[in-house]
């Protein structure tokens, strides 16, 4: 049995909100270091400095956690891109990069596993394969001495249950988040409340939702989960303006432009992006429900993370540069701004 020691994540959550920036693959894709489609983080081998910089950007903006970029760095995805032999190097390097930033910034280090895309409820052989995929990734995270492990973006709650079991058997705290698409039930037709209750019963330390839904369409589901679980809750929406009729970011359609493939997802979502105030509103609303593990997933920029951190009362280093419009040349109220400039403000 691995040695048990109290998780620093749970200690921090007992005191107040914890911010976890996610969405690394989306942001590195925008920065030109990662290919959309497969979304495999080959970048950790090919441009490790870009990963380090993004970790630093998110920590500067308020993330209390550095999540190793092992999203989709699992055996099945590596097979899809023909790089299965790089599976272990990618995982170990991602953990090493994240470890360095966590150490220099005094933040928590998280390992990460996610949906395998091979889970089939009707095929017991797939359950074994999924477990084996999780076990190898979790072992590499344990070797890196992570503070906890995130299991994320599961649309089958049963796959999340396997992830929970593997993480807990490895002796680590588990943050398990489900990905809810257009339906308000998991792919095996469990309600979100029931799914989260079962994940909690399986030993997860934090349960909730991440990715896929924007603040507006994630919030109603969070309310249903709220009364169902006792462990700390997690909420990490995507920063996009999803709606009742288009509740997931994959279901969004742009009335002004039809990109290749018709869907704006994943690389033409720009016009749907939430502003930082909307993310701040979400943070306040979630914290009022005592949802303490908060973040933003695919599409998140550092400005979103800073707004979220500030909305729950934090003051990250980037707050040094939070807006002060009193000094604006036309819109400002500063004594140096001449009245003639202020009068022109309406004509800007």
Q: Binding residues for Zn ion, per CB under 5 A?
A: 211, 297-298
Whole-angstrom CA distances from 212 to 33, 185, 297, 298 are: 22, 13, 8, 8
Q: How would you classify residue 317: left for phi > 0, otherwise alpha for psi between -120 and 50, otherwise beta? A: alpha
In this complex, which beta carbon is closest to Zn ion, that of residue 170 or of residue 212?
Answer: 212
**Residue 289 Cβ vs Zn ion, minimum distance, rounded to whole Å:** 21
Non-local (6+) Cβ contacts of 68 within 8 A are 91, 94, 95, 97, 98, 99, 109, 110, 111, 112, 141, 144, 146
Token reading at 336: 């140096």
In this complex, which beta carbon is closest to Zn ion, that of residue 9 or of residue 298?
Answer: 298
Q: Is the peptide bond before 266 cis (omega within 30 degrees of 0)?
A: yes
In this complex, which beta carbon is closest to Zn ion, that of residue 206 or of residue 298?
Answer: 298
Whole-angstrom CA distances from 109 to 9, 147, 265, 304 are: 9, 5, 30, 21
Query: Which residue, chain included where needed, has tokens 């991440």?
Result: 210
Distance CA 164, CA 174 (A): 6
Distance CA 96, CA 137 (A): 14
**Residue 236 Cβ vs Zn ion, minimum distance, rounded to whole Å:** 8
In this complex, which beta carbon is closest to Zn ion, that of residue 287 or of residue 297?
Answer: 297
In this complex, which beta carbon is closest to Zn ion, that of residue 25 or of residue 167?
Answer: 25
In this complex, which beta carbon is closest to Zn ion, that of residue 62 or of residue 239?
Answer: 239
**Residue 300 Cβ vs Zn ion, minimum distance, rounded to whole Å:** 8
Strands 206-210 and 233-236: parallel
Contact 133, 167 (CB under 8 A): no
In this complex, which beta carbon is closest to Zn ion, that of residue 170 or of residue 305?
Answer: 305
**Residue 67 Cβ vs Zn ion, minimum distance, rounded to whole Å:** 11
In a 3-state reduction of DSSP, which class is residue 90? Answer: helix
**Residue 22 Cβ vs Zn ion, minimum distance, rounded to whole Å:** 6
**Residue 178 Cβ vs Zn ion, minimum distance, rounded to whole Å:** 12
Bridge partners for 39 per DSSP: none
In this complex, which beta carbon is closest to Zn ion, that of residue 161 or of residue 211?
Answer: 211
**Residue 106 Cβ vs Zn ion, minimum distance, rounded to whole Å:** 26
**Residue 249 Cβ vs Zn ion, minimum distance, rounded to whole Å:** 9
The stretches of the chain forming alpha helices (DSSP H) are 8-15, 24-30, 43-46, 48-61, 75-80, 87-105, 124-143, 157-169, 192-201, 215-226, 276-288, 302-311, 339-344
Contact 71, 112 (CB under 8 A): yes
**Residue 256 Cβ vs Zn ion, minimum distance, rounded to whole Å:** 24
In this complex, which beta carbon is closest to Zn ion, that of residue 22 or of residue 310?
Answer: 22
């Amino acid at each position: 049995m691995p040695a048990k020691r109290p998780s620093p994540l749970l200690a921090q959550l007992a005191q107040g909100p914890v911010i976890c920036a996610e969405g690394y693959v989306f942001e590195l894709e925008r920065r030109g270091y990662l290919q959309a489609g497969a979304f495999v983080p080959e970048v950790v081998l090919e441009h490790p400095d870009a990963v380090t910089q993004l970790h630093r950007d998110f920590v500067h903006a308020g993330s209390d956690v550095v999540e190793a970029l092992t999203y989709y760095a699992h055996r099945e995805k590596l097979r899809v891109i023909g790089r299965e032999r790089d599976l272990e190097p990618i995982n170990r390097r991602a953990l090493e990069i994240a470890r360095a930033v966590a150490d220099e910034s005094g933040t928590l280090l998280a390992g990460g596993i996610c949906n395998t895309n091979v889970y089939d409820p009707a095929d017991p052989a797939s359950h074994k394969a999924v477990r084996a995929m999780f076990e190898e990734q979790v072992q590499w995270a344990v070797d890196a001495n992570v503070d906890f492990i995130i299991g994320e973006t599961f649309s089958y709650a049963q796959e999340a249950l396997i992830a929970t079991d593997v993480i807990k058997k490895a002796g680590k705290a588990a943050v398990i988040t489900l990905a809810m698409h257009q339906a308000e039930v998991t792919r095996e037709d469990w309600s979100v409340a029931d799914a989260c209750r079962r994940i909690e019963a399986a030993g997860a330390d934090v349960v909730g939702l991440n990715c896929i839904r924007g603040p507006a369409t994630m919030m109603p589901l969070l309310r249903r989960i709220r009364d169902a679980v006792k462990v700390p809750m997690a909420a990490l929406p995507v920063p996009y303006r999803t709606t009742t009729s288009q509740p997931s970011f994959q279901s969004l359609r742009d009335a002004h432009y039809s990109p290749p493939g018709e869907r704006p997802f994943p690389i033409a979502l720009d016009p749907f992006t939430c502003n930082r105030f909307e993310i701040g509103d979400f943070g306040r609303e979630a914290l009022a429900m005592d949802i303490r593990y908060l973040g933003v997933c695919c599409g998140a920029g550092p400005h979103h993370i800073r707004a979220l951190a500030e909305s729950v009362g934090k003051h990250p280093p980037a707050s040094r540069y939070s807006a002060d419009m009193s000094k604006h040349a036309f819109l400002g109220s500063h004594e140096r701004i001449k009245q003639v400039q202020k009068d022109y403000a309406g004509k800007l």
